[in-house]
Structure 1
Amino acid sequence: MSSHPHLVHEPTLPWTEVTQGPRVSYRRKQLGAAAKGQKLGCSLMELAPGKHAFPLHFHLANEEAYFILSGTGCVRLGDTSLPVKAGDYVALPIGPTGAHQLVNDGTETLRYLAFSTMVEPDVMVYPDSKKVCVTAGSAPGGDKAARTLYTVLPLSAEVDYWSGEER
């Protein structure tokens, strides 16, 4: 165990495992949170062959980046797909040009570091499923107990600003 709250030794941290349906499956160690980071998140991620961690999405407040440690995969950047391998760094800017999804299309586990600014509130847009997620009180990937708002809606859920209001 570390003698300082801002220093963590990765092998001592437990994995969080997430599986959702047949394609989403990942293991994650939230290094930034464990080291009590506030404005920069960092997670060690592992994807098994044929899996991805998140749907294609982009943020309106948080910038992200990937650094590939081992394995191979394919990163979707908007309408473009690019191969990635160990040593590659991918910047994922805010907005539609930063729409991204990392898929392990290789034969071995894909290990990478996922970085994120920890800005809240944030809005995430999911172009493939035509959804939007709004979060406040805690940045995405941050302390869920601190969230004051978290909702996922279809983009078609838009209503008139004055609908339901007394005039």
Structure 2
Amino acid sequence: MEPTNEADLEWTETHHGETEFRRKRLAAAAGGDRLGCSLYELPAGAKSWPFHYHTGNEEALYVLAGAGTLRLGDGSHPLRAGDYVALPAGETGGHRVINDGDDPLRYLAVSTMGDPDVTVYPDSGKVGVFAGSPPGGDGERTVHGYFREDDAVSYWEGEE
């Protein structure tokens, strides 16, 4: 495998309410299979993906530049360049990055790419289900979707 330089990759942009960021999918560009890595840049005042955790994948963040706040399940914590945060699978790994500073916040997000995976969004009461390709993966998903936890039914409901 040859090295991939982030300067050679285009940014993708996400804008949805308070969620706003640019992203370069480094691992995908380098042919990564079981380990994901993306470069993120949040402008001042922006937030990353909604607060969530993965039930099957571990993540980590490494802050390259800027400062902000990391919302975890136990509260908010300051983030600054040089900080590394491990985010285990499960509820204790719940997180959201917030740029409450004046400069762009740039960080690497690393993830195991286990398939299948379920993401949980405690603030909105939703779950995301992914099979065939994990969150952040390039492959075709055989099952995927987001569902409200309150819409859960029993195993036998609807069966004859």
TM-score with structure 1 setting the length: 0.93
- Match of 2:148? 154
1:8 aligns with 2:4: yes
Match among 50, 53, 76 for residue 58 of structure 1: 53
- Match of 1:108? 103
- Match of 2:33? 38
Task: For residue 157 of structure 1, report the CA deviation from its aligned partner.
Answer: 1.1
Matched residue type, 1:106? G
- Match of 1:127? 122
Q: Residues of 1 paired with 2:143 and 2:103: CA distance?
A: 38
Deviations 1:40-63 (A, max 9, x none): 000000001111120110100000
Deviations 1:112-143 (A, max 9, x none): 00000001100000011111000010010001
Task: For residue 6 of structure 1, report the CA deviation from its aligned partner.
Answer: 4.2
TM-score with structure 2 setting the length: 0.97
Q: Residues of 2 paired with 1:160 and 1:87: CA distance?
A: 47
- Match of 2:159? 165
Matched residue type, 1:69? L
* Structure 1 segments unaligned to the other structure (5+ residues): none
Kept in 2: contact 1:55–1:126 (CA 8 A): yes
Kept in 2: contact 1:45–1:111 (CA 8 A): yes
1:142 aligns with 2:124: no
Aligned length: 160
Q: Residues of 2 paired with 1:45 and 1:160: CA distance?
A: 40
Q: Residues of 2 paired with 1:149 and 1:74: CA distance?
A: 34
Matches within 5 A, 1:80-99: 80-99=75-94
Q: 4+ residue runs of structure 1 moved beyond 4 angstroms?
A: none
